Chain A
Amino acid sequence: GNSVTQMEGPVTLSEEAFLTINCTYTATGYPSLFWYVQYPGEGLQLLLKATKADDKGSNKGFEATYRKETTSFHLEKGSVQVSDSAVYFCARTGSGGGADGLTFGKGTHLIIQP
């Protein structure tokens, strides 16, 4: 079946450090890929998405590129801030199209220290 695997947390970085959170997905069908973020005390928010191979999603300085050859969608940011501290979820749609329910990874808790 469909699944998403992302790196375990927590990930602790200093402010202005480079961030990478790894995400890989099972290679079934032609899913759309997403990163959602959950700030403390808030609901899930879409951070970025990519709908086909080689697409790059970007938002708020974060980027992720849909790599079909490695079935990956790693999240990167060049210089993190304390306000980026949150839980990040990688997700994919099913094989049937973008309206399918999402399959999420377990989440990565990111902690940025000043």
Chain B
Amino acid sequence: EAGVAQSPRYKIIEKRQSVAFWCNPISGHATLYWYQQILGQGPKLLIQFQNNGVVDDSQLPKDRFSAERLKGVDSTLKIQPAKLEDSAVYLCASSLYSGGGLSTDTQYFGPGTRLTVL
């Protein structure tokens, strides 16, 4: 079974530029998550989708970050304009959960995109 795919793996940009990351979840997984992992810290949830609807975006800095999941499969996360403090690894994860109550479906993580903002 193919895992969660992400691209690019690395990206270096200047501050105030824009950047986009792409995620392809495991086939059949209804729920998709984007996390930000700053060096030396644990991942922090940015946004959660169930199919193509947003479930939780309370920690997404909406003035500069946006995300979409068209057709309930692939997702893109965009930063515009980037700041120095956005330097981090951006992780995408997916799980089977499709709604309907409590669930403990495991989240599977992709390899991440390492963003450096200069």
Contacts and interface: CB of A to CB of B under 8 A. Distances in A.
A45 interface: yes
Contact of A49 (B33, B106, B109): B106
Nearest to A51: B104
Contacts of B56: 100-101
Contacts, number: 63
What's the interface size class on A, roughly? Answer: 20 to 34
Given A97-B102, A101-B33, A45 B97 contact: no
Contact of B104 (A42, A49, A103): A49
B109 to A, nearest CB: 4
B31 A99 contact: yes
Contacts of B101: 97
Interface residues of B, number: 30
Which of A32, A45, A102 is most buried by chain B, counting CB atoms within 10 A of its CB?
Answer: A102
Contact of B48 (A89, A97, A101, A106): A101
Interface of A, helix, strand, loop or mixed by DSSP: loop
Interface in A57-114: 89, 91, 93, 97-107
A-B pairs, top 3 by smallest CB distance, nearest first, are A104-B42, A101-B45, A98-B104
Interface of B: 31, 33, 35, 40-45, 48, 50, 55-56, 91, 93, 95, 97, 99, 101-112
